[in-house]
Each structure stands twice: as structure tokens, then as C-alpha cells.
Amino acid sequence: MDSLTHLALGACMGEAFAGKTLGKKAMLWGAIAQSIPDIDFLASTWLNTTSNLLAHRGFTHSFLFWALITPLFALVAERLHRPHNIRLPKWILFFGGTIFIHIFIDAFNNYGVGWFEPFSHQRISFNAIYVADPFFSIWPGIACVALILLKKLNPQRKKWWRMGLGLSALYLVYCLFNKARINTDVKEILQKQQINYTRYFTAPAPLQNWLWYVVAGNDSGYHVGFCSVFDGKKEITFQYFPRNDFLLQSFGGHKDVQQLIRFSQQFYTVQKWSDTLVFNDLRFGQVIGWQYPSQKFAFHYFLQYPQNNTLVVQRGRFEGWNWQTAQSLLKRIVGN
């Protein structure tokens, strides 16, 4: 999830843990603990782009990091707040739970997390919620603001942190329900439309959980389309993109290319834009693909100009958006 959501969730968890004892300092501890796995952003200061893609949500989102950092946080907090009536095991439980929630909910996005680093490079991705979903984030956000404004002993504080955590958890369950429903429909549609595939995935289109992005194919290429939970017709208008592996021959065993392939989990295509070779990671969707089916992919890496790939994950997500784009998204959500 995005950083602001993690901060708000952590603040609500801190209030639930020790708001009455520590006051708003508990919210601060929760926000810090919930954000600590994202310390991996510092790696971008010395790693190149492709190495940083693999480092992000890697070791600092692993179970090993979680096991190491939890007791360290607990010991520091226990010592700083003496005298108090909070035993060390309770501190460990709080920090362990708060940090675990971060690496757990990040696995529901399409970027993937390295739970088993450094022993395995496998990335876990449930592809159930968009990385910035306002319908998930708004509840802990509102609750966090209320908790900041209310006084320490106000009895309403309990209601707010419960709402912030409870409604976001309920929405996540709803997203999983939508995911299961979409997967069932997509498998039926792929069979009905006689589309052969060896791998596929579904992931929410931007900023919501009703319109889903669908990719299905094999080493030759991928069929890409969109499916809404409100679709009346069980059919998808797919756009086919050949993978074009032959375009990578001139790069041989180039390290950047190998890292991009590993990062993409085999969901990639290669295209030639004028005189430039472009590597597309299909997992991050198309730029307004529901409006223009042949539109380019949000994640596009310029193979011959690596210096031009700063913020490669973020740069294409909302390129070309305007009011007409938002209207087309709403119209497609309603169903075919």
C-alpha cells in the first residue's frame, strides 16, 4: 500500500495498543513501526534501477527482517518509556503485529513481496487490491485525523480506531470476494473464447476494486483485457501482444535484462518504439487500456537508455488521465 495508508493504519494500531497509557506517543510508535519495512527506499541511492526494483519489497518485507526488527523496536520502546506498566512481551506482540500487517497487506498488491528473502527470491502477490485504493485508505485516514484532534482520555477514541481498522479489514475481505468471483468468470471466458494460456493473472484497475485487468498467455504472447464484476455478458474483448523475445537477442545475458525478466515473473513483452527497444512489465497494467485497448503499458523500460528509467514503476500509471478518462473508467466499471 501507499505510505500514507501505512502511517494511518499504524497510528490506529498504536492507539489500540497503548493510547490510554502513552497518549499520542503510541500513535507515533505505531506509525513508525508500520512504515519501517519501507526503509528499503534508501537502496535507490546506490543501486541502479533494475537492482532497486528487486530490492524494493525484498529483504525488509521478509519474515527474517520482521523477526529481527521486532525485538529491537520492543527493547528500545520499553526502555524509553520507563516507568510504565507494559511488559516486554506485550511490546513485542505490538511491534510484531504492526510490522507483520505491513508485509502482509503489501502482498495483496501486484508488485509482490519477498517474504522468504534471502533464502528464496520468490515474490508473493495476491493481486487483490490496487496499491492506492481510496476505498481502503479512507477509513484509517479519517480515524487517524480524529485521534489526533481528540484528547487523550476522550471515550470516543476507542470508537475511531475500531472504525479505522475494522472497515479497512472488511473492505479487504470484500476485495478477496471480488477476486474469487472475477477469477471464476475469467477462466470460463478464456475457455469459451478458446484462448490458450499457460499462465494468467487478474488485478484491479486503478483506484477501485470493481474493474479488473486480465492477462493470459504463454511464451509467445499475451491476451490483455478488462472485466467488471458488473458485466452482464461473460465475454472480454482482448488485445493480443506478442512477447517478441527475439528482440532481446542483441542483449544476450545482459544483467539488466535478466533482472527485468525475473522481476516481471515472465509477464512481459518487448516492443520497438522508433529506434528504441522497450521492455514492458504487464503486471502494472495499461495506461487507460479500458478506453484504448492497444494503449502502451504503464511499466515500460527503455533498454538502450537506462538513464531514462527513473521512477519506472510510477511514471506511466496516470499518464494521459483527464476528466474524459475518469468518465470512461466509471462507464466501464458499470459493465458491458
pLDDT tens digits for range 231-254: 999 999 999 999 999 999 888 778
Residue 82 has pLDDT above 90, yes or no: no
Phi/psi for 131 (5° steps) reads -60, -30
293: Cβ contacts below 8 Å, ≥ 6 apart: 224, 225, 237, 239
The answer to whether 257 touches 251, Cβ cutoff 8 Å, is: yes
Q: What is the mean pLDDT of the chain?
A: 94
Query: Measured at the alpha carbon of residue 201, what is the angle toward residues 195 and 205, in degrees to the nearest 5?
Result: 110
- Alpha carbon distance 148, 136 (integer Å): 20
Please tell me the least confidently modeled range out of 63-67, 226-230, 309-313: 309-313
Question: Residue 44's pLDDT is what?
Answer: 86
CB 160 within 8 A of CB 180: no
Residue 319 has pLDDT above 90, yes or no: no
How far apart CA 109 and CA 133 sit, in angstroms, is 10
Of 102-106, 152-156, 300-304, 305-309, the range with the lowest mean pLDDT is 305-309
Q: What is the mean pLDDT of residues 216-227?
A: 97
CB 164 within 8 A of CB 217: no
The single-letter code of the amino acid at 20 is K
171-198 residue pLDDT tens: 999 999 999 999 999 999 999 999 999 9
- From first CA to last CA, the distance across the chain in angstroms is 30
Task: Give the residue-averaged pLDDT of 45-53.
Answer: 92
Q: What angle do CA 117, 123, 129 make, to 5 degrees?
A: 130
Instruction: Say what the pLDDT of residue 244 is.
Output: 96
215 pLDDT exceeds 90?
yes
Mean pLDDT of 266-284: 94
